[in-house]
Chains A and B, each alone.
Chain A
Amino acid sequence: MSDSNGQAVHAAALDTFPRLLMHHAAVRPNRPAMREKEYGIWQTYTWAEVAQNVRAIACGLAELGFKRGDRLAIIGDNRPRLYWSVAACQCLGGIPVMLYQDAVAQEMAYVLQDAEIRFAVVEDQEQVDKMLEILPDVPFLAHVIYDDPRGLRHYTQSLLMGLDSLQEAGRIHDRNHTDFLDAEIDKGAGDDISVMLYTSGTTGKPKGVCQTHGAFIAAAQGAMQVDGLTDGEDILSYLPMAWVGDHLFSFAQAMVAGFTINCPESGETVMTDLREIGPTYYFAPPRVFENLLTQVMIRMEDATALKRKLFHHFLGVAQRCGADILDGKPVSTGDRLQYWLGNLLVFGPLKNVLGMSRIRVAYTAGAAIGPDLFRFYRSIGVNLKQFYGQTETCAYVCLQPDGQIKFDSVGKPAPFVEVKLAHNGEILVKGPMLLKAYYKRPDATAESINADGYFMTGDAGFFDAEGHLKIIDRAKDVGKLTDGSMFAPNYIENKLKFFQHIKEAVTFGSGRDYVTAFINIDLEAVGNWAERQGMAYSGYTDLASQSKVYDLIRDCVEKVNADLAADPKMSGSQIKRFLILHKELDADDGELTRTRKVRRNFVAERYAVLIDALFSGRKIQHIETVVKYEDGREGRVSADLRIEEAKTFAPQAAKRAA
């Protein structure tokens, strides 16, 4: 992305992240590399400071005996010092392994064993306690380094060490062996493994995906090309570090482009922090956008009549022409004028409240986004786009180019990426961003990369007329009903989840006569609705069982049925019977992955009685479930669940009903 010759020559050597870091420290030493809100103030670290800190951590690790190829576990929220640890580990030719910080200890034990972790850098007492708990299962764990010493003063275990002391030791080491670290960085090569990311494991045990420096750098460069990213971008880093997306946006792209990452003060302050930073480049999974919109709508309902009127009037204008204005399409002068006024009175202030005033590019991925939701953000002038990718491809396969945005596609193949479809509709990809291997799993590696070097994504999809890729479902989840019509569970569930009252849905139908669904209501949205209806309820279980709520949800299900009836391929898979679950599906109970995707098989097994009831025509079914609290204790929830029927539509009748 360099313009001058001098930089181009230099760029050839910038093939690892440590080299990129040292490059930025030399070229833009005083530009902010990271900010973190602490004590109510945004504290800034320049590239030069980051480089110094990374050096200190790296040398400290070396002093402890960290060797090339060693794996370093990194567990915690998005803290600058944890990002530094990633870079420090890479400086020494080690492989950082990030873990989801909210995982319970036993889940962590598997990854620590699999990756044979000897060194771990963790955030605080909570994570230290988890490490100590699983120590008997992970006997080779020799060093646990913690960032925040609070509450740890009386811990006497010899394997514990503060990151401050480690850095201090590192600084001394660096002074005494001035050439050591530079020599280590020189030993690195572009096709070394730069990071190991564990797949969240929708099925089976998690696998460690080994990615090289080259893969992530290529993915970052491609994205920079498409969106014209510069070193002036600001991004909020608030998604788990263990997730490939965060590693791409907050680490790889920031390192390649040299822009600033901002770490929120705490998990609860993200919205405030977002507003204060006003990022220019933003990523959020669809549910974050959805929560924001739900909150805005709820607050608007409590606003004065005049404000409500203004809001809805200009929202109408935005829906009519906002997206076209954003895409640079021709729009009448009258509409433009109205939109300008709307921007002044409504959209501008609204974007400001949401922290989206400065956004040039916003991305969403990970799950399908509802058309209304997508349109809403684009219509108020937020350049929201979608991409497609997975851990194995550095989250980089397809991107929506500016001006060619469709809510139901994921865009065109990104630079350097080749995409083709297998005969069964499975999406195959090839490019520099592909994984090097699954850690210690040559069988899995061989299984997922075919003879021609294409990675088999496991997703089913097709290209539309303009060459945009459309994803339907997981290839293995696409099934058939007994009458032979196609059943794509995700496709239907996404349609259900687009309704604000439905938080989660799981559909069943493969090998059955008809389709049925489990529904999780959205407590906030339905709760607010119930309040306005004057309904009393004591909590989720109570609310979910009320007949008025069933009516509300049936209405949504029937709308989805009408929608499905309109699509000749899908009309056979309309939902005939459904129930509302008595508890929210939860990652702590193993029902969702840590990235909040439904673990279909697990849910089907756990609630087998409910599925039987759905398909046997029963009207009511008792269920008792064990739930796990965050601290590991268990409790029980039981309920009698009602099962209701929903209207289905003949394919021809669809238009009238919709």
Chain B
Amino acid sequence: MMMNDIAQAAHAQEQANGRRVGDVILDLQNISLSFGGVKALTNISFNVREHEIRSIIGPNGAGKSSMLNVMNGVYHPQEGRIMFRGEERRKMDPHVAAAQGIARTFQNIALFKGMSVLDNIMTGRNLKMKCNMLQHALFWGRAQEEEIEHRMKVEEVIEFLEIQSIRKTPVGRLPYGLQKRVELGRALAAEPSLLLLDEPMAGMNVEEKQDMCRFILDVNDQFGTTIVLIEHDMGVVMDISDRVVVLDYGKKIGDGAPDEVKNNPEVIAAYLGTSH
């Protein structure tokens, strides 16, 4: 009996934390999105499994960022269904998506430049704060406890991303690579179950990319966070992804494990180049 309990607990633990790919949590079915006459996405279907690292690749203008925006409810597709954890999502607002555990970072860094790293990451806790503004303003009663709890979480994120030395530095003064890391930090502070990363490594040098790769893998490994990633660096994508979906002109042209995608002739023609 005892042994059984322990084994079960261990199993549950592994399920929660491990790099074990689970069931489909996000299923996109026949998604089409257009802005006026411009078709951004045409009849795209793919899914995301729990705990996996799923990459979206494609040339510029292929609709990758639009796809992310559909996932977290910024854009509402004209056609198609989105199933999140088995329920159909209709006209969902971004804040509802955030409350459901979907967090994201942006292609162009969207941080508060004048605020410190600490405060920026603290904003990621916004949805988890329960006290009202007056309580927070007076720093009184429950607000005090709450602030301490959130600060602890934020400090864990800071340690995780190894940015202790810039804790109090205004974000605007940081180099680009570190700002990207802070943005990841803010997303992590929300303790997401699904993390959407829009070109987390754009504009980074090799060393910064390696660091970022390690953080992404660590997040996935340590917290079991499911990650959907847009990235241009093929080496990175092929290295860290479980599955890759390829878009071109708003259409899906490939989907599968990195090796399959790499050898797909259509993908090679559209994206990787036909010269070889």
List A residues at the B interface (Cβ < 8 Å). Answer: 37-41, 150-151, 153-154, 265-266, 268-269, 272, 631
Contacts and interface: CB of A to CB of B under 8 A. Distances in A.
Chain B, interface SS category: helix
Contact of A40 (B17, B18, B19, B158): B158
Contacts of B160: 150
B152 interface: yes
B222 interface: yes
Interface in B229-264: none
Contacts of B151: 40
A474 B246 CA distance: 65
Contacts of A38: 159
Contact of B218 (A151, A266, A269): A151
A143 B155 CA distance: 32
Contacts of A265: 164-165
A37 B167 CA distance: 13
7 contacts: A40-B151, A40-B158, A150-B160, A150-B218, A153-B222, A154-B19, A266-B162
A191 B228 CA distance: 61
B144 to A, nearest CB: 16
Nearest to B214: A151
A37 B158 CA distance: 13
B221 interface: yes
A38 B167 CA distance: 13
B218 A39 contact: no
B149 interface: no
Contacts of B218: 150-151
B54 to A, nearest CB: 20
A266 B162 CA distance: 8
Is the interface on chain B under 10, 10 to 19, 20 to 34, or 35 or more residues? 10 to 19
A39 B221 contact: no
B156 interface: yes
Contact of B165 (A39, A151, A266, A631): A266
Interface of B: 17-19, 151-152, 155-156, 158-160, 162, 164-165, 167, 210, 218, 221-222
Contacts of A39: 152, 155-156, 158-159
A150 B165 contact: no
B164 A266 contact: yes
A40 B155 contact: yes
Contact of A153 (B152, B156, B158, B221): B221
Contacts of A154: 19, 221
Nearest to B155: A39
Given A40-B158, A265-B164, 18 more contacts: A39-B152, A39-B158, A39-B159, A40-B151, A40-B164, A150-B160, A150-B222, A151-B221, A151-B222, A153-B18, A153-B221, A154-B19, A265-B165, A266-B164, A266-B165, A269-B164, A269-B165, A272-B165
A272 B158 CA distance: 16
Contacts of A268: 164-165
A257 B155 CA distance: 34
A40 B167 contact: yes
* Closest 6 A/B residue pairs (Cβ): A268-B165, A39-B155, A269-B165, A265-B164, A40-B155, A266-B164
Nearest to A265: B164
Contacts of A41: 155
Nearest to A271: B165
Nearest to A633: B206
A367 to B, nearest CB: 26
Contacts of B210: 631
Nearest to A41: B155
Nearest to B222: A150
Contacts of B158: 39-40
Nearest to B152: A39
Nearest to B217: A151
B163 to A, nearest CB: 9
Nearest to B218: A151
B36 to A, nearest CB: 46
B236 to A, nearest CB: 16
A247 to B, nearest CB: 26
A272 B210 CA distance: 27
Contacts of B165: 265-266, 268-269, 272
Contacts of A40: 151, 155, 158, 164, 167
A38 B158 CA distance: 10
Nearest to A270: B165
A457 B8 CA distance: 64
Contacts of A266: 162, 164-165
A40 B218 CA distance: 21
A40 B151 CA distance: 9
Nearest to B14: A153
A53 to B, nearest CB: 21
Nearest to A40: B155
Contacts of A37: 164
B160 to A, nearest CB: 8
B125 to A, nearest CB: 15
Given A38-B159, A39-B156, A40-B155, A153 B17 contact: yes
Contacts of A151: 218, 221-222
A268 B167 CA distance: 11
A151 B214 CA distance: 10
A153 B222 CA distance: 8
A39 B210 CA distance: 25
A265 to B, nearest CB: 5
Contacts of A272: 165
A272 B118 CA distance: 15
A268 B222 CA distance: 24
A129 B156 CA distance: 24
A527 to B, nearest CB: 16
A299 to B, nearest CB: 14
A154 B19 CA distance: 9
Contacts of B19: 154
B121 to A, nearest CB: 12
A554 B227 CA distance: 56
Contacts of B159: 38-39
A38 B159 CA distance: 8
A272 B168 CA distance: 10
Nearest to B159: A39
A272 B167 CA distance: 11
A189 B166 CA distance: 47
Nearest to A149: B222
A482 B26 CA distance: 81
A580 B156 CA distance: 45
A178 B19 CA distance: 42
Contacts of A269: 164-165
A449 B19 CA distance: 58
A266 B19 CA distance: 28
A38 to B, nearest CB: 7
A385 B131 CA distance: 54
A324 B60 CA distance: 69
A153 B218 CA distance: 11
A269 B158 CA distance: 13
B252 to A, nearest CB: 32
Contacts of B164: 37, 40, 265-266, 268-269
Contacts of B221: 151, 153-154
A536 to B, nearest CB: 20
Nearest to A268: B165
A272 B164 CA distance: 10
A515 to B, nearest CB: 39
Contacts of B222: 150-151, 153
